[in-house]
Amino acid sequence: MDIEQKQAVLIDRFVKQASAQKGTALGSVIVEATSHPSLFAFSEILAVPTVTELEGTENSVYLEVLRLFAHGTWSDYKNNSGSLPQLVPDQVLKLKQLTVLTLAETNKELPYDQLMLELDVTNVRGLEDFLINECMYAGIVRGKLDQLRRCFEIHFAAGRDLRPGQLGSMIQTLSNWLETSDNLLISIQEKIKWADAMSELDKKHRKEVEDRVEEVKKSITAKQAEVDIRGLEELFSEPGGVMDYEDRSRPKRRRHPR
């Protein structure tokens, strides 16, 4: 089962659990969901009516925690830790993994210094161990650790939940990509037509050259034959030629008087 299938199964499970609980009881469901090592998407849980009903209640802190894991980063938690409950170790790990995904949305090369600052990691060895063991082995990112350039080169990163207001921007991005793809397709089709036309011209030119060569060959052959015949005629007809030699070498018949 790949990461998307695991996500779908887990989301369905936690949506059902959240739908069956209310108030304080939702706290344990949210903590379990945000601690699970294979769950990285939370928008479906956020949309559950019993969860949205936490807004403005004494249990709204659980809703804020879920929003943090859906859209926030480790830095966001540190900046608002006074109004949020203390995270358990599994939640801390999960939020740092999600922070890497957020950084990878806009940058394909993440400097080690930036990552260490954002993740509260104090040395390169600890950072690389985290990226390998907790991110790449988890399947949420793929990339290359460039120790010489001190950066993490991103080749793939799983997407996070869309933030409020981000849908319009994404639709515009996809529209722009579609328009660019259409223009590129038209350009490729035009180049294919041009290449086909040039290929036909090349074939026509080759045929003309081959026909011309064949004509020249025939002309040369005909002229050579004409030269040979003319040579033979001269050989037989000129004084001292074959015909003259045969006439002179043939014994004369003596005529006897009657």
Last residue of a domain, one of 119, 134, 157: 157
202 and 80 both lie in a single domain:
no
123 and 213 both lie in a single domain:
no
Cα(89)–Cα(101) distance, integer angstroms: 19
% of the chain residues with pLDDT over 70: 82
99 and 40 both lie in a single domain:
yes
Examine residue 252 and state whether it is found in any structural domain, yes or no: no
Examine residue 204 and state whether it is found in any structural domain, yes or no: yes
Confidence band, pLDDT 50/70/90 cuts, at residue 184: confident
For 59, residues 6+ apart whose C-beta sits below 8 A from its C-beta are 23, 24, 26, 27
Both structure tokens of 141: 């990112």
Last residue of a domain, one of 124, 157, 190: 157
> pLDDT value at position 172?
59
pLDDT of 234 above 90: no
> pLDDT value at position 249?
53
Last residue of a domain, one of 123, 157, 191: 157
Examine residue 120 and state whether it is found in any structural domain, yes or no: yes
90 and 182 both lie in a single domain:
no
Cα(67)–Cα(77) distance, integer angstroms: 11
pLDDT of 79 above 60: yes
> pLDDT value at position 252?
54
Examine residue 256 and state whether it is found in any structural domain, yes or no: no
197 and 215 both lie in a single domain:
yes
pLDDT of 6 above 80: yes
117 and 14 both lie in a single domain:
yes
Query: What is the span of the domain harbouring residue 47?
Result: 3-157
Domain count, the chain: 2
pLDDT (tens digit, 9 = 90+) per residue, 111-166? 999 999 999 999 999 999 999 999 999 999 999 999 999 999 999 999 898 877 65
133 and 179 both lie in a single domain:
no
Examine residue 137 and state whether it is found in any structural domain, yes or no: yes
Examine residue 258 and state whether it is found in any structural domain, yes or no: no
